[in-house]
Amino acid sequence: MTPDEAWKILEGADRLCDEATVHAAIARLAGEITARLKDRYPLVLAVMGGSIFFAGHLLPRLRFPLEFDYIHASRYGSATSGGRIVWTVAPRENVRDRTVLVLDDILDGGETLAAIRDRVSSLGAAAFHSAVLTDKDIGRDKPIVPDFVGLKLPNRYVFGCGMDVSGAWRNLPEIYAVKDS
């Protein structure tokens, strides 16, 4: 994608959530997560690269001891629709006997997060929790229900706050949807 193409996508997009709404959702999630996990010394795993925005804003608000690591699993790669799970960095043995909290940018179809849950559980985690910045309403049941959800989104192609459109605009502090054609 060229910079001009990226700008045209943004200029034609619909803003779904402004920056204040995103930050309010993250603050609320921090309170909910703290209430449930503050005494557990959880291992927090960020799913790269989409959750980097979410993790970067959430972690400073979690005012309790935790350990941080990352994993990298994707069904998308450079595509816009999901395929098989590809593990660039799989969960490590440090999940054994731990309370694990996985952070992700979006729960779309749920297959990636369900695969992460299954992998973490198979490695012996004591408990699995998940927090997503956004949950897309796709009109059907998903294989996993996150423990913590920041924002509900319509079934549209969204970007910003860690989510990209053809590699661009993960850095935006708001959430946009590509204009319906």
Fold that domain 3-74+85-177 belongs to in CATH: Rossmann fold (3.40.50)
Structure tokens at 150: 């920041």
Q: pLDDT in tens for each of the 181 residues of the chain?
A: 899 999 999 999 999 999 999 999 999 999 999 999 999 999 999 999 899 999 999 999 999 999 999 999 877 555 555 568 888 998 888 899 999 999 999 999 999 999 999 999 999 999 999 999 999 999 999 999 999 999 999 999 999 999 999 999 999 999 999 997 6
**Is residue 180 flagged as an active site residue?**
no
Q: What is the bridge-based pairing of β-strands 175-177 and 158-159?
A: antiparallel
Q: Is the peptide bond before 49 cis (omega within 30 degrees of 0)?
A: yes
Contact yes or no for 45/69 (Cβ under 8 A): yes
Record the pTM.
Answer: 0.93
Contact yes or no for 129/37 (Cβ under 8 A): yes
Residue 61: phi and psi, rounded to 5, are -90, -10
Among the listed residues 14, 39, 105, 108, the single catalytic one is: 108
